Structure 1
Amino acid sequence: MKIATYNINGVKSRLAILLRWLDEQQPDVACLQELKATDEAFPHKELEAAGYGSIWHGQKSWNGVAILTRGDTPQETRRGLPGDPDDTHSRYIEAAVDGVLIGCLYLPNGNPVPGPKFEYKLNWFKRLQSHAADLIDMNIPVVLAGDYNVIPTDFDCLTPKSWKDDALFQPESKQAYRELLDQGWTDSLRHLYPDKQIFTYWDYFRNRWERNSGLRIDHLLVSPVLAPRLKGAGVDREVRGWEKTSDHAPTWIELGDA
């Protein structure tokens, strides 16, 4: 079972990119972030024609998350994180797929620091930690996949000094991510490649793609009961080099049979 996460950075404007990637790589599950589209504008018919059923949680101009499954439709179990009924951002959706619970998330960016956006990021992180702990207690196979907007360590970026003032690299952000892992979640890419510098995002500015000045901020965390089934992980790095592409590259894991 291949499960991928991809911050598409505008599903309508990059639909051709998405369809090309799905056709070439054929993940069984694809979690999308930054749809930047309302529910009505989400291209579910085009995805269905490409062989993918979908559920989505859209928002005009901003945010938005979706889960796609090849040859089937995900069974939605939740949209939105618990803990703040007044939060209108479309940042979390969850579904059951072939015996695995998939949580697709788009964690807030948090810039500028300090400020209300950074406080919102940390508060959202606390809600994620609380829900993630409940999922751990259920003792079931779970994947929490998405754009976490966190650079976990210095090793996860080429030039740490250039990110020292960014919300993605603040001590509070990194600590929140560590606390999530301390619940028992496995960071799939880092677990399988502890000594390899891997990036999932390259900013459009300052020739960061051409210089391979990237970040690892797209993560797939697997629950303790699922970790033994983790067989592979990687980044479809070439997609970042396509014309008019997202600034993220699809990141994926492969799970063995139960």
Structure 2
Amino acid sequence: MRIATWNVNSVRTRLEQVLCWLEQTKPDLLCLQETKVDDPLFPMQAFENAGWQVSIHGQKSYNGVALVSREPLEDVRCGFVGELPDDAEAATLGEQRRVISGLLDGVRVLNLYVPNGSSLSSEKYPYKLTWLGCLKRYLDAQAERGEPLCMVGDFNIALEARDIHDPDRLSGSVMASDAERDALREALGNRLQDAFRMFEPDAGHWSWWDYRTGAWDRDRGWRIDHIYLCEELMGLARSCSIHKQLRGNVQPSDHAPVSVDLDWPPADDDQDEDDQLF
């Protein structure tokens, strides 16, 4: 099973790039963020013509998330209220379309577009911390069903110094502040682990390069697009890759896709032993 995540920064602007990458990479599921389009205007037909199923939770000009899969997903849930129907704060936060999940062959895949926070002095910064607190409650509720979980998306947080091109200068700023990192770690708890770091411990690997600073030409990026796996899935992970080359496209998104390959469903040990007898 291959699951991928990509902040496309407008699905209509990047439509041909997305369809081309889907054809080349053939994930079982691609999770998109910042689709930036109301649901009625999502380019559904283009995906369906190429053989893809799409579940959407969109918003005009801002935010928006989508799940693009070869086979229809089960139990698609939109917004924090998908897990927290009686949580008033979840309903308010859901006015921004940033959360969607679905079941893919028994795996719950949660696709997130975490708020940026703007700056430490912005009113958007405490909003981000509140949002992350709600994410923890959401994950606690989901865990009660016992579904294996793969959580992906644009987290707008570099969790460690090695996730930033210049940690001495940028640590402590928005996307790298202690409060943001602590809130995300609290949400992850002991349940979820960073798939990429299972395979690549070193610094120098980025998934986002700011349009405004010539960051791509100088390779001055951040790793803020993550894939987190529960323990059951972590033991089945074969690889996790950042597809950096797409940031070099003409009119690219400022983010590159990230994908994980899993040996799912797991082999039936009893069946394997039976097969060896014949």
TM-score under structure 2 length normalisation: 0.88
Look up the match of 2:22: 22
Moved more, 223-232 or 190-199: 190-199
Give the CA deviation at 1:76.
3.8
Q: Could you tell me how far apart the structure 2 residues matched to 1:117 and 1:192 are?
A: 34
Q: Could you tell me how far apart the structure 2 residues matched to 1:197 and 1:177 are?
A: 22
Gaps of 5+ in 2: 267-278
Give the CA deviation at 1:179.
1.9
- Contact (CA 8 Å) 1:188, 1:220: kept in 2 or not? yes
Identity %: 33
Look up the match of 2:79: 80
Give the CA deviation at 1:198.
1.6
Moved more, 113-122 or 37-46: 113-122
Q: Could you tell me how far apart the structure 1 residues matched to 2:123 and 2:109 are?
A: 30
Alignment of 1:1-258 (within 5 A): 1-70=1-70, 72-81=71-80, 82=84, 83=87, 84-87=90-93, 88-164=95-171, 166-257=173-264, 258=266
Q: Could you tell me how far apart the structure 2 residues matched to 1:163 and 1:196 are?
A: 15
- Equivalent position amino acid for 1:26 in 2: K
Q: Could you tell me how far apart the structure 1 residues matched to 2:224 and 2:21 are?
A: 20
Q: Could you tell me how far apart the structure 1 residues matched to 2:254 and 2:104 are?
A: 28
Deviations 1:100-156 (A, max 9, x none): 111111000011212321111001101111111233343321111100110111100
Q: Could you tell me how far apart the structure 2 residues matched to 1:15 and 1:148 are?
A: 22
- Equivalent position amino acid for 1:44 in 2: M
Deviations 1:176-229 (A, max 9, x none): 122233332011001221235321111112221111111100011111222211
Q: Could you tell me how far apart the structure 2 residues matched to 1:141 and 1:205 are?
A: 39
Q: Could you tell me how far apart the structure 2 residues matched to 1:199 and 1:76 are?
A: 33
- Equivalent position amino acid for 1:213 in 2: R
- Contact (CA 8 Å) 2:162, 2:202: kept in 1 or not? no
Structure having the higher Rg: 2
- Contact (CA 8 Å) 2:161, 2:171: kept in 1 or not? no
- Equivalent position amino acid for 1:59 in 2: Q
- Equivalent position amino acid for 2:15 in 1: L
Q: Could you tell me how far apart the structure 1 residues matched to 2:44 and 2:146 are?
A: 32
Q: Could you tell me how far apart the structure 2 residues matched to 1:9 and 1:102 are?
A: 21
Q: Could you tell me how far apart the structure 1 residues matched to 2:173 and 2:45 are?
A: 38
Q: Are residues 171 and 165 of structure 1, via their aligned partners in 2, closer, same or farther at CA, if it must alter by over 3 Å?
A: closer
> Greater helix share, 1 or 2?
2
- Contact (CA 8 Å) 2:2, 2:29: kept in 1 or not? yes
Look up the match of 2:269: none
Q: How many residues align?
A: 257
Q: Could you tell me how far apart the structure 1 residues matched to 2:172 and 2:183 are?
A: 17
Moved more, 40-49 or 223-232: 223-232
Q: Are residues 64 and 93 of structure 1, via their aligned partners in 2, closer, same or farther at CA, if it must alter by over 3 Å?
A: same
Q: Could you tell me how far apart the structure 1 residues matched to 2:216 and 2:169 are?
A: 15
Gaps of 5+ in 1: none
TM-score under structure 1 length normalisation: 0.95
Q: Could you tell me how far apart the structure 1 residues matched to 2:63 and 2:170 are?
A: 23
- Contact (CA 8 Å) 1:181, 1:187: kept in 2 or not? no
- Contact (CA 8 Å) 1:201, 1:216: kept in 2 or not? yes
| Aligned Cα root-mean-square deviation (Å) | 1.4
Q: Could you tell me how far apart the structure 2 residues matched to 1:77 and 1:46 are?
A: 21
- Contact (CA 8 Å) 1:140, 1:226: kept in 2 or not? no
